[in-house]
Amino acid sequence: MAAIGVGGSRGRYNRGGSIANDAAKYATMVAVCDVDDLHTEEFSQKHGGNLNKYRDYREMLEKEKPDVVTIGTPDHWHVPIAIACLQSGADVYCEKPLTLTIDEGKQIRKVVEETGRVFQVGTQQRSSGDLFQKAIAMVQSGYVGDNVNAYIAIGGAPGDGPFETTEAPDDLDWNLWVGPAAKADYCEERRKYFRWFFEYSGGKMTDWGAHHIDIAQWALAPGENGPTTIKGTGEFPKTVPADFNWNSFFNGEASLPNGYNTATSFNIELTFDSGSKMVVTNHYKREAENIDFPNGILFEGDKGRIFVNRGKLTGAPVDNLTEEDNAKLDAKIAELRKGKAAMSHMANFFACIEDGGQPISDVWSHHRTMTSCHLCNIALMLGRELKWDPKAERFVDDEQANGLMSRKSREGFSAETHAAS
């Protein structure tokens, strides 16, 4: 196997090294690829010092022909690299969030279907049986009643900037790091904290939304259902003009100052045809009911409510579970796991390679999750209510919004050209 994008002592917001180290428990690591030579050397030393080292993933795929690849690059590189890996014949574990745009999700879904390779996204909350799987099982089994809504807090992004630019380190290929995004001068904040730049990511909406919106949507709308109405408000950093033309930004015709530009605060409501809704906010409060949390999901129906995050699953419906209830929930959880036993997220990926099954975080479910995340950001950018057709995967009679479903790639760096090169 091989690892692409492994982070290291000069990195920050990516888990490439940790997921690659985890994967190496199940397969033999032979090669590492990173645009930062320091990171490839550090990673190689952790694996005996004899790994073949590359800067360009295309060269690595051509020479090594790995059976399995982990991808832990910054977000804007996920889909182009994943497509190349899949088309080379590799099974892929890709860190979240998978996509930069809605159309990227359609594109990677199509390639997974065409190649038939195993593809797991690193939303590890899906493999948490005692917390998130149990919460989903309780919601889907009626333990909080009908008319269930989800209230989701994911934190807000910082709003600092503008920042000074400097020369890139000699052993970092900055042009390749920027890749399909618009050309930009080097600054440490762009590299370390890329999640807060729309050029490379989607802020907290795609960072933590990829986790919590995923769990909430799995519970509320299993299958292919998606939201139909999206509305809300939010704030962007001072570096973003109030009348900024986001369509021009997505088309590569406009740029922003060299500072963080993703939403710092927000409150977005997504409504499904069923009447259920998800409320996505940076911090959820209901002072009259003493509800206040910065991170987590509150499921509320006409019988009660439960709260779940990475530390706990609480609420009266949880406290009142009987042995018989827990047995029923265990059966439901087994169904959510697609028949597989409880295991780590990485173990699930390799089990699917062995038996040909679909992983617990497959491309179809994650594309639907990321669509909802992107819909939230688009609603913030346009500052108005949006109508979405989840079957057609288009905005309804709204060409301005439809224009924000894709982005123009820098010449020579589109997913198609890089996969085919």
SS3 category, 120 = strand
Sequence ranges of the chain with CATH classification 3.40.50.720:
2-125+413-420
Per-residue pLDDT averaged across 50-61, rounded? Answer: 98
Q: Decide: residue 290, CB within 10 A, 0-12 exposed, 13-18 middle, 19+ buried.
A: exposed
Which position has the token pair 């917390």? 131
Q: What is the pLDDT of residues 328-387, one digit of tens each?
A: 999 999 999 998 999 999 999 999 999 999 999 999 999 999 999 999 999 999 999 999
**Which of 152-156, 318-322, 412-416 has the weakest average pLDDT?**
412-416
pLDDT class for 420, splitting at 50, 70, 90? very low
Q: According to the model, what pLDDT value does residue 419 have?
A: 54
Tally of helices (H runs) and strands (E runs) in the chain: 17, 17
Could you tell me the two tokens for 296? 């987590």
The model's pLDDT over 168-179, given as tens digits with 9 standing for 90+, comes to 999 999 999 999
8 Å CB contact between 150 and 297: yes
Q: pLDDT, tens digit, for every residue of 225-267?
A: 899 999 999 999 999 999 999 999 999 999 999 999 999 999 9
Q: Which fold has domain 2-125+413-420?
A: Rossmann fold (3.40.50)
Provide the pLDDT for residue 416.
61
pLDDT over 70 percentage in the chain: 97
* Superfamily in which the 126-339+360-402 domain is placed by CATH: Dihydrodipicolinate Reductase; domain 2 (3.30.360.10)
List, in sequence order, every residue forming a beta bridge with 389; answer none if it has no partner: 394
Identify the pLDDT of residue 172.
Answer: 97
Mean pLDDT value across residues 175-195: 97
Residue at token pair 């690591």: 29
86's enclosing H/E stretch is: helix 78-87
CA-nearest of 32, 68, 33, 36 to 51 is 32
pTM (2 d.p.): 0.97
Q: What's the sign of the alpha-carbon dihedral 116, 17, 198, 214?
A: positive
Residues of the chain with CATH 3.30.360.10: 126-339+360-402
Confidence band, pLDDT 50/70/90 cuts, at residue 413: confident
Q: Hey, is 308 helix, strand or coil?
A: strand
